Structure 1
Amino acid sequence: MSVREIRVFGDPVLRERAQPVDPAAPATAALVQDLLDTVQLPGRAGVAACQIGVAKAAFSYLVDDELGYVLNPRIDEVRGEPQLVDEGCLSVPELGFPTPRHPFCRVIGEDLEGREVVLEGEGLMAQMLQHEMGHLDGRLYLQALDKETRSIAMAEVRKAAWY
């Protein structure tokens, strides 16, 4: 398949709630391959389907040299008080802001064969899971920022050359 272009802030697909995917559909296998190809570029931890223009419930990840994907995921558990972590997003290029994230997250979904997939972890894995699940809900991480930080972030977005 191929590395796909990342959609940026302002693209309507980023605000759509992802629709479930049929793991057995040939189009789903092609989507998964594109997600896997796209996440493997340097500096990427996760890519949601909406970021490549497809409003479907799927994302790929590459965290601590572990490459994978999940279809139709749902958050099963978050643990711990949210902590501020530096976060950025491929769909909001070149910017990053302290974002509240739970220190542990578990997501349950399925693979292309319909088998259950459980992804969980702390640190970058927990952050990535929460970030990608936000994308599948039609939200960017900017919406998780406190009011003052979000105001600063939006001013930076408006000044960005890509906006």
Structure 2
Amino acid sequence: MSSVKQFQVTFDCADPERVARFWCEVLGYVVPSPPKGFATWDDFNRSQSPEDQGSWFACSDPSGVGPRLYFQRVPEGKVAKNRLHLDVRVGTGLVGEERLATLEAECVRLVALGAVRVRLLYDGTDSCIVMQDIEGNEFCLD
């Protein structure tokens, strides 16, 4: 049996391009070039039927290491806690106050992008900050 080599993470959301561009800023991801034959994503969207315009957007890791993120429009809003969430690993290898300071600095940057700080989990050694993206999807700064 062969192992899976790549995977994509899909987000259900109301505004795919807005949420994708938020995650580009969080992770240093990029928006791929528009489909062949289109100069811009706006040109591509105008070519779609009205109900399909803006129905999805994607971003990817420019190094090719991280998974592609795909954002699809759904009619319903978020009503419950995510069953799956991303851990944004900014404090890897750090402990104690150094780790906490690194997480707090990144939290400030992400709040300026529209994220919401939910709570700090800190036991004196290990820490993470629970946050929400611009549509309320939970993630952790770890």
Q: TM-score range by the shorter chain?
A: under 0.3
- Bigger helix share: 1
Which is greater in Rg?
2
> What TM-score do you get using the length of structure 2 for normalisation?
0.26
> What TM-score do you get using the length of structure 1 for normalisation?
0.24
- Bigger strand share: 1
